[in-house]
Chains A and B, each alone.
Chain A
Amino acid sequence: MLNERAFKAVGRPLPRKEDLRLITGKGRFTDDFNFPGQVWAAMVRSPHPHARIVAIDSEGARAMPGVLGVYTGADCERDGLKPIPHNPVPSTNFDVKLTGRGGTKVFIGSHMLLPADKSRHVGEAVAMVVAETRDQAYAAAEAVDVTYDVLPWVADTAAAAEPDAPRLWDEIPDNILVDSSFGDVEGTEASFARAAHVVTMRSHVGRVTGVPLEPRAAVGHYDTATGRYTLYAGSGGAVRQKRELAEVLNEDQQNLRLLSFDVGGNFGTRNRAYVEFGLVLYASRKLGRPVKFRAERSESFLTDYQGRDLVTEVSLAIDADGKFLAMRASNLSNVGSRCVSLSPLSKGSGLITGSYDIPFATLRSRAVYSNTMPTQAYRSSGRPEVTFAIERLIDKAARELGFDRLDLRRRNLVRPQQMPYVNAVGSSYDSGEYEANMDRLLALADWQGMEARRAEAKSRGKILGFGFANYVESSIGTPKERADVIVRPDGVEVVIGTQPAGQGHETSFAQVTADLLGVPFENVTITLGDTDVVSAGGGTHSGRSMRHASTVLALASEDLIAKGQALAAHVLGVPLDSVVFEDGVFRVADRNTFLSWFDLARRSDDEGLPAQLRGGLKVRRDSEMHTPVFPNGACACEIEVDPETGGLDIVRYSTVDDVGRCINPLIVHGQTHGGIAQGVGQALWEQCVIDPGSGQPTSGSFMDYGMPRFDNMPSFKTQIVEVLSPTNPFGVKAGGEGGTTPAPAVIMSAVEDALSEFGPIDFEMPATALKIWSHIQSGRARLRSSNAA
């Protein structure tokens, strides 16, 4: 049992251990590593969305200065390389079960490092050039002459699902790889039949990309003497990447060492192996020299794993009093040219009813291939999409049926006494106070003062819009985690298999360890990211890390305390049951004698110790935890629209987030801030645009991909609520992704509120100034003509 009164570090906003190196320029990012004899790789990328590779002539490139080799998909096949085993179908006990049509196995198109048959999206690497310098490699890549047979292509999500769409894979009859249905058909149909109202909405939550500021990079080295590969590559989990790349290279896992230290942002983009990671190792084996790759920003925009891209159709059956009776939903996820993850579709599927008590629901979940970069779980995988669907649908229902939009939500929220609440598609919400969150949020956002602010804005010629959304999300993630806890005379080291990219694990995990063992926070260090030290672990995604780490650390500390008691009993020469552990020391009852952890560590190698106490004061503990948790909250914002330009400013933005136990509020608030920016970014600016005529991506730089910036973001009011989850020792849910989850819905809710006098909005995100201005113009024209008539 945890003794909360003994917490000295948990719950405190301690500054991070990571910061000193990062603010003094001593971080260790992938491109900071260089090796003697190192050479550079550049990719030859397909200019076509879909084309058969007829021939690759590399003679000209090979003759260029510094060029050491040119490699193609045929070379990879000849050398026995295997596809990347992405394992995209979520498989914990609590994930919804996605299948192909009629319950068949999901068809996963092979993802070779370089394709030998055809390119399936613009930017796909079809050959690699290695040269002495980076400039030489990039110049020679331009000289590789690829003959393509250009094929019909499809990029749009809905179009790709049509039966006559151009087909990416010969192995299946069309592009649809997942088609699963869930829920109670009979109950849902009966509820719709008796409903007083049915409201329906279709929307497309578009394609965006993660934009970590560190471009992805990799430096690989094959040691001909030992036959071992070493790869420095920032990722979301070195252990997983080691396993997958070993399979690609057809090697034993022990022959690979992966190192991932400071990672310059991830947001999901780095959770799956990139072809370049395998390619630099392959080239190093061929050439006997270290090989490095660093993406240009335009390559990152083209070929970082992307996010979202879900078409959803939802209908809600409502009775005359505004009680929700049932829901029907159909989700279509665009996985891109290869399926690397079905997490976005799966996550969303379990949450379609949102924060509301809706007794019946049916859901059809489909996934489709298209000639675009593959999508992956991106910041709050799948949850902003379904939150957008239910929350925007409720706004629509309130508007069309004459309900107050906040009151309609209150009538239908899941109540605390219903917890744990099993929703209509089987997800079991662990805990939460959803209506109390709304109340807290409305107070934080000064809802009472909103109409006065609206009038004041109007006096300045601006239109104020108020947006609101509730949310609930799920945190699942890889179920296994391992921790080694080692006590030495000068401190405690924890070795663990998560992989932060700014989330501050070195700090928050040290807080947890310090309080579990009763040692000072300053004496705990966390070791991550080197697979020769970190033997197992699930990486960082889906808000899993704090929950899984605190759980395995709680288990490990129990083992360690037992070991400490035995050692103390031996050292002090007393029976085991007379040693008690309290306040971080081992005492003998009724005697003024005690030993600290560090005293014990000094004695842990003593000669003459019994065998079971030898080998140092350390434990290794594995934990497996499938049960998901459901972070939840509420969010409001106010925007001011300039009706003459369509431009808008976000003037207030408030969130209440139930994260379960908050280990470090400084970090959790920071995570929320960043999450908000990414969700708002999608609502207002961000979009991976593909030209509908040519299939060419046109968002290739920061000049044409709109980003959240200093001057378009507001300061935030964020409040943390801690309703402890009963599913894990510390009661942790998750923080950070909750910033993103409601953000697209809340922004569009505010835009719609601001523009209400001009009619309901009919455009998709991002809500650009042009779309808003056009809506105002057409609304005004309509008003003029109806006044004239």
Chain B
Amino acid sequence: MTTVSMTVNGSPVSRDVEDNTLLAFFLRESLGLTGTHVGCDTTQCGCCVVHVDGRSVKSCTMLAAQANGCAVTTIEGLATGDKLHPVQEAFRTYHALQCGFCTPGMIMAATNLIDTYQGELTEEIVREEMEGNLCRCTGYHNIVKAILAAADAMRPARRAAE
């Protein structure tokens, strides 16, 4: 057993877990944050993406112990109170989700992409950068639209300046 401590969605947490506990299951099973989903066990589907110290991470392939001392944000921590994050809002407006299983990972990956990508976000760039997230319902069409719309909402100055 290992004691793991980290900040999750702004609150400090500490739990004793088996050494081999993955971050995804630490969040789901130790903390009850079931918004983070596990779809493949092998780092390929992206349903489990969370932010660890500001970076997108597939939490099914990171030990909870590796996140010791880190700041983790999950889908449950993205909105500010009742105010949805612009990416969440855009996913709803553009019908960028159907079954909703890939959606938390999709939103977390897209949020990080918009926050960190230096150049202009085009359809081609979004498709290339998001390639590590799978969706079986939408054919990606509306997700691309939602991400581009959210990018416009989040950083109008940057897009206009380029």
Q: Which residues of A contact B (CB under 8 A)?
A: 13, 15-16, 18-27, 29, 31-32, 34, 135, 210-215, 262-267, 296-298, 501-504, 666-667, 669-671, 673-678, 701-703, 707-711, 713, 715-716, 739
Please, how many angstroms separate the alpha-carbon atoms of A263 and B78 in the complex? 23
Cβ of B91 within 8 Å of any chain A Cβ, yes or no, is yes
Interface string of B75-98 (1 = CB under 8 A from A): 110110000100010011101011
Does B130 lie at the interface of the complex (its beta carbon under 8 Å from any beta carbon of A)? Answer: yes
CB-defined contacts of A16 to chain B, threshold 8 Å: 92, 95
Contact: A265 with B139, CB < 8 Å? no
Q: Are B98 and A213 in contact (CB under 8 A)?
A: no
The residues of B with any CB-CB pair to A shorter than 8 Å are 18, 20, 28-29, 33-42, 44-45, 47, 74-76, 78-79, 84, 88, 91-93, 95, 97-104, 107, 123, 126-128, 130-131, 133-144
Q: Can you list 26 A-B pairs with a CB-CB distance of less than 8 A?
A: A16-B92, A16-B95, A19-B91, A21-B100, A22-B103, A23-B91, A23-B103, A24-B35, A24-B79, A24-B88, A31-B34, A31-B38, A212-B99, A213-B99, A215-B39, A265-B137, A296-B41, A298-B41, A502-B98, A673-B141, A674-B139, A677-B138, A702-B134, A709-B134, A710-B144, A739-B139
Residue of A nearest to B18 (CB): A135
Residues of A within 8 A of B95 (CB): 13, 15-16, 666-667, 669-670
Do residues A715 and B123 form an inter-chain contact, with CB atoms below 8 A? yes
Report the minimal beta-carbon distance from A294 to chain B, rounded to whole angstroms. Answer: 8
Q: In whole angstroms, how far apart are the Cα atoms of A34 and B32 in the complex?
A: 10
Point out which of B18, B123, B127, B143 has the most chain A C-beta atoms below 10 A from its C-beta: B127
> Are B141 and A701 closer than 8 Å at their CB atoms?
no
Most B CB atoms within 10 A — which of A31, A212, A673, A707? A673
Q: In the complex, how many angstroms separate the beta carbon of B148 from the nearest chain A beta carbon?
A: 11
Q: Which residues of A contact B39 (CB under 8 A)?
A: 213-215, 264, 297
Pairs of residues from A and B, 5 with the lowest C-beta to C-beta distance, nearest first? A25-B35, A502-B98, A264-B101, A22-B100, A502-B99
Kindly name the residue among B35, B37, B103, B141 whose own CB sees the greatest number of chain A CB atoms within 10 A.
B141
- Nearest CB in chain A: distance from B81 CB, A: 11
Are B42 and A701 in contact (CB-based, < 8 A)? Answer: yes
Which residues does chain A contribute within 8 Å of B143, judged by CB atoms?
710
- Contacts A265-B99, A674-B98; is A26 near B44 (CB within 8 Å)? no
Q: Assess A25 versus B92: contact at CB under 8 Å? Given A297-B39, A503-B98, A715-B141.
A: no
- Give, as a whole number of angstroms, the nearest-CB distance from B28 to chain A: 8
Chain A residue, CB-CB nearest to B98: A502
Is B44 within 8 A of A703, CB to CB? yes
Instruction: Report how far A21 CA is from B28 CA in the complex, Å.
Output: 16
A-B contact count, CB below 8 Å? 175
Cα distance A666–B75 in the bound complex, in angstroms: 24
Contacts of A667 in B (CB 8 A): 95
B93 shortest CB reach to chain A, Å: 6
In this complex, what residue of A is CB-closest to B107? A23
B-chain residues with CB within 8 Å of residue A266 when the two chains form the complex: 99
**Is A25 within 8 A of B41, CB to CB?**
no
Q: From known contacts A23-B84, A702-B134, infer whether A711 and B127 are also in contact, taking CB-CB under 8 Å.
A: yes
- Asked whether, in the complex, the Cβ of A713 is within 8 Å of the Cβ of B97, the reply is no
Known: A214-B37, A715-B141, A716-B141. 20 other contacts (CB 8 A): A16-B95, A19-B100, A23-B91, A23-B92, A27-B34, A32-B34, A211-B136, A267-B136, A501-B99, A670-B137, A673-B138, A674-B98, A677-B138, A701-B40, A707-B134, A707-B136, A709-B131, A709-B140, A710-B143, A713-B139
Q: Which of B40, B98, B101, B126 neighbours the largest number of chain A CB atoms within 10 Å of its CB?
A: B98
Interface pair A264/B99, CB less than 8 Å apart: yes
List the B side residues contacting A707 at CB < 8 Å: 134, 136
Kindly report which residue of chain A lies nearest to residue B145, judged by CB atoms: A715
Contact of A673 among B74, B79, B93, B139 (CB under 8 A): B139
Which A residues are in CB contact (< 8 Å) with B92? 15-16, 19-20, 23
The reply to whether B138 and A264 contact each other, CB–CB distance below 8 Å, is: no
Q: Given contacts A15-B93, A16-B92, A23-B88, are A265 and B101 in contact (CB under 8 A)? A: yes
Which residues of B lie under 8 Å from residue A669 when comparing CB positions?
95
How far is B40's CA from A211's CA once the two chains are assembled, in angstroms?
10
Question: With A and B bound together, what is the CA distance between A34 and B93 in angstroms?
Answer: 32
